[in-house]
């Protein structure tokens, strides 16, 4: 899986998207683009078609899903069987709720286990966790700072946030993790991604991935949702490109190559 924090380079070397194409099979890749999250599907699809074709991909098609009925259609589910990669665009993540628990969601999980490469950017990134961040903001770590809902569950142990440093979202991610300390919070900067496989992920791109681990923390919730949550002993890792995080062991290391892509 390739999980991108949004605003990825689509023209100058293509960075993390070039890695995605390589994982999907290079010139033999067959990529399905899911544009559900965006309000401008034609424009967004054209942009990704352009960059993927520039990177040598000849087969790029849109899978238009506008509601739950579309996500349960047999032909939509069958489209995944011919793909080597699926790409979920950014936009409004609440629209991706139409996919959650659908037949398409089930087939995505089945195909992922068999080698399909799944990528998401921005809204498409946060939807990949079992819990999806739907919104929220604020400077406090509190229940009112974050709104969450069910996600696709393809990265079940992670809560993913995007545009992370650029939009100052550490309080939001801390709030999400405080509400469910068993989850690992992963905040991904723009033009930055994690490449996940075999229970760990590597950081790619030009920014930083922030990992929040509250498994051994003390969490005390106040009576009011707007009051700050008490949070002791939370661990925070800042991982630039080349770093690796073992999800099972909850441990970070510097990888063998500290490369940007």
Q: Give the CATH number of the domain where residue 40 resides.
A: 3.40.50.880
Question: Which is the catalytic residue, given 122, 142, 200, 210?
Answer: 122
Q: Which two tokens stand for residue 24?
A: 């999907």
Q: Is residue 166 part of a domain?
A: yes
Q: Is residue 259 part of a domain?
A: no
Between residues 66 and 12, the one the model is more confident about: 66
- Compute φ and ψ for 145, nearest 5 degrees: -80, -20
User: How many domains does the chain fold into?
Assistant: 1
Percent of the chain whose pLDDT exceeds 70: 97
For residue 233, what are the β-bridge partners? none
Range of the domain at 176: 2-254
Q: How confident is the model at residue 218 (pLDDT cuts 50, 70, 90)?
A: very high
Q: Is residue 181 part of a domain?
A: yes
Picking from 51-60, 95-104, 171-180, 250-259, which range would have the lowest pLDDT averaged per residue?
A: 250-259
Contact by Cβ (8 Å): 31, 85: yes
- Can 163 be counted among the known catalytic residues? yes
Question: Which is the catalytic residue, given 18, 62, 190, 202?
Answer: 190
- Can 102 be counted among the known catalytic residues? no
The rounded mean pLDDT for the chain is 95
CA dist., res. 19 & res. 32, Å (int) = 16
Q: What is the pTM of this model?
A: 0.96
Contact by Cβ (8 Å): 164, 172: no
CA dist., res. 190 & res. 139, Å (int) = 20
Q: Is residue 44 part of a domain?
A: yes
Mean pLDDT over residues 23-32, rounded? 98
Q: Is residue 261 part of a domain?
A: no
Q: Is residue 142 part of a domain?
A: yes
Q: Is residue 46 part of a domain?
A: yes
Q: Which two tokens stand for residue 87?
A: 């790409």
Residue range 116-140, pLDDT digits in tens: 999 999 999 999 999 999 999 999 9
Q: Is residue 132 part of a domain?
A: yes
pLDDT at position 58, please? 96
- Can 190 be counted among the known catalytic residues? yes
pLDDT at position 12, please? 65
């Amino acid at each position: 899986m390739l999980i991108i924090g949004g605003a990825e380079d689509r023209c100058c070397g293509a960075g993390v998207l070039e890695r995605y194409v390589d994982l999907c099979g290079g010139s033999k890749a067959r990529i399905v683009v899911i544009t559900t999250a965006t309000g401008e599907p034609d424009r967004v699809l054209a942009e990704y078609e352009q960059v993927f074709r520039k990177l040598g991909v000849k087969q790029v098609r849109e899978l238009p899903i506008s509601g739950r009925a579309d996500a349960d259609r047999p032909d939509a589910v069958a489209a995944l069987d011919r793909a080597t990669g699926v790409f979920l665009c950014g936009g409004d993540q609440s629209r991706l709720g139409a996919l959650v628990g659908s037949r398409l969601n089930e087939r995505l999980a089945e195909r992922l286990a068999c080698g399909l490469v799944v990528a998401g950017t921005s809204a498409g990134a946060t939807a990949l966790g079992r819990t999806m961040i739907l919104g929220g903001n604020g400077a406090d770590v509190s229940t009112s700072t974050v709104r969450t809902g069910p996600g696709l569950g393809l990265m079940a142990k992670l809560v993913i946030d995007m545009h992370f440093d650029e939009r100052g979202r550490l309080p939001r991610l801390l709030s999400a993790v405080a509400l469910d300390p068993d989850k690992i919070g992963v905040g991904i900067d723009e033009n930055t991604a994690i490449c996940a496989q075999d229970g760990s992920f590597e950081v790619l791109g030009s920014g930083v991935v922030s990992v929040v681990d509250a498994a051994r923390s003390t969490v005390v919730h106040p009576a009011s949702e707007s009051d700050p949550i008490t949070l002791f002993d939370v661990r925070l890792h800042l991982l630039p490109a080349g770093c690796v995080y073992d999800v099972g062991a909850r441990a970070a290391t510097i990888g063998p190559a500290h490369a940007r892509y």
